[in-house]
Amino acid sequence: MNDILRLVLPIYFIIYFGLAFVLKSFLVARKIGKNPLVLPKDDSAFGIIGRYFKLTLIAMFLYVLAFSMFPEGQYIFLPITVLDNLAVKYLGLALLFIALLWTILAQQHMKNSWRIGIDTETKTELISTGLFGLSRNPIFFGMILSLVGLFCTTPNALTALFLILGYVLIQIQIRLEEEFLTKEHGQKYLAYKQKVRRLI
Measured distance CA(143)–CA(163) in Å, rounded: 10
Domain boundaries, the chain: 2-195
Name the residue with higher pLDDT: 8 or 35. Answer: 8
* Rounded Cα–Cα distance for residues 26 and 4 (Å): 31
The average pLDDT across 153-166 equals 96
pLDDT at 109: 92
Most confident of 71-85, 108-122, 182-196: 182-196
HEC profile of 143-161: HHHHHHHHHHHCCEHHHHH
Class of the CATH domain delimited by 2-195? mainly alpha
Distance in angstroms (rounded) separating the CA atoms of residues 117 and 167: 16
Query: Using 50, 70 and 90 to split pLDDT, how confident is the model at 62?
Result: very high
- The predicted pLDDT at position 31 comes to 87
Arithmetic mean of pLDDT, 134-154: 96
- Spell out the residues 6+ positions from residue 57 whose beta carbon is closer than 8 angstroms to its own: 17
What is d(CA 87, CA 94) in angstroms, rounded to the nearest whole number?
11
Report the pLDDT averaged over residues 55-61. Answer: 93
- pTM for this entry: 0.92
**Which whole number is the average pLDDT over 175-182?**
93
Torsion of CA 185, 172, 122, 188, to 10 degrees: -10
pLDDT band at residue 138 using 50, 70 and 90 as cut-offs: very high
DSSP bridge partners of 79: 156
